[in-house]
Amino acid sequence: MTVRAGLLRKVELSRGSARGDRRALRWQHLVDVTGERPRGVSGHGHGHGHGHGHGHGHGHGHGHGHDPKSYDALGNPEDLAAYLSKLESPERAEWQRPDDVVRALGLRPGNVVCDVGAGPGYFALRIAREVGPEGRVYAIDAEPRMLALLLDRAADAHIQNVLTVPSPDGAALPPERCHRILIVNAFHHFPGADYLGMLADQLLPGGRLVNIDFQGGELPVGPPPDHKVSREDFLRSAASVGLELVEEHTFLPYQYLLELARPEGENPA
């Protein structure tokens, strides 16, 4: 398993460091990150030994509805630069309510958190600040360009407690047990119960797996209806690997937010 520390990649910032310059450079870098490597990732898209596959070929602008484009085997749009800018767009906060989500996670300084399908770090970076220097965030993603960008953004923000975990087989696990395992807008990219069970095995006693994903039907944001995993289907998958719903939050306008845990004693210390 490869785990990379947040500051291994250094971002070259302009000497003047004026805000506008920094932003321009970041987006230039984003284009570099997304343009310099071959598109798509080998070894995905046809299941990975866990009874499920992805490559369902949707994309969702997360704030811009969905439109017909081409998508890679991970369900990410081929135009990754545009996708990334949508994932990180300021408008997303209006419906994603990241501060409220992070508050709902009930984190404490020093907690260990894993973000699965972390993308460029919308939540991983916020959570890294929340758990503080004594805590750690493992950011798992099957798309290396996402993790490359996440590391650069962490370096830019002087965040040192995010460690990336590449997931070339689409089923990587955090290298230690966690207080929280978070999946945001990502489970529908890898909708298998087996991986969910393997992740749940990595929870500390009292730990919770938190899934946030889009409600069914046509919405102004998110994937097309036939690519979503409904709340009920997710709960069925979770139950099949011994996860029980312990808390549900309903403040998000377009998504369900479910906290699950193994019954007490099943994840012993």
Q: Which is nearer to ligand SAM, 186 or 210 (CB)?
A: 186
Q: Is residue 147 close enough to count as binding ligand SAM by CB under 6 A?
A: no
Q: Is residue 118 close enough to count as binding ligand SAM by CB under 6 A?
A: yes
Stretch that binds ligand SAM, among 3-11, 100-108, 112-120, 237-245 (CB under 6 A): 112-120
Member of 139, 142, 178, 210 binding ligand SAM (CB under 6 A): 142
Write down the least CB distance from residue 165 to ligand SAM, Å. Answer: 9
Write down the least CB distance from residue 248 to ligand SAM, Å. Answer: 19
Write down the least CB distance from residue 18 to ligand SAM, Å. Answer: 28
Instruction: Output the residue with the shortest Cβ distance to ligand SAM.
Output: 119
Write down the least CB distance from residue 188 to ligand SAM, Å. Answer: 8
Give the contacts of 32 (CB within 8 A, at least 6 positions apart).
none
Write down the least CB distance from residue 87 to ligand SAM, Å. Answer: 5
Write down the least CB distance from residue 44 to ligand SAM, Å. Answer: 7
Q: Is residue 186 close enough to count as binding ligand SAM by CB under 6 A?
A: yes
Site string for ligand SAM, 38-77 (x = CB under 6 A): ----------------x-------------------xxx-
Kindly identify the residues of this chain, within the stretch 72-111, that bind ligand SAM according to CB under 6 A: 74-76, 87
3-state SS string over the chain? Answer: CCCEECCCCCCCCCCCCCHHHHHHHHHHHHHHHHHCCCCCCCCCCCCCCCCCCCCCCCCCCCCCCCCCCCECCCCCECCHHHHHHHHCCCCHHHHHCHHHHHHHCCCCCCCEEEEECCCCCCCHHHHHHHHCCCCEEEEEECCHHHHHHHHHHHHHCCCCCEEEEECCCCCCCCCCCEEEEEEECCHHHCCCHHHHHHHHCCEEEEEEEEEEEECCCCCCCCCCHHHCCCHHHHHHHHHHCCCEEEEEECCCCCEEEEEEECCCCCCCC
- Residues near ligand SAM (CB under 6 A): 54, 74-76, 87, 116-119, 122-123, 140-143, 146, 167, 170, 184-186, 189-190
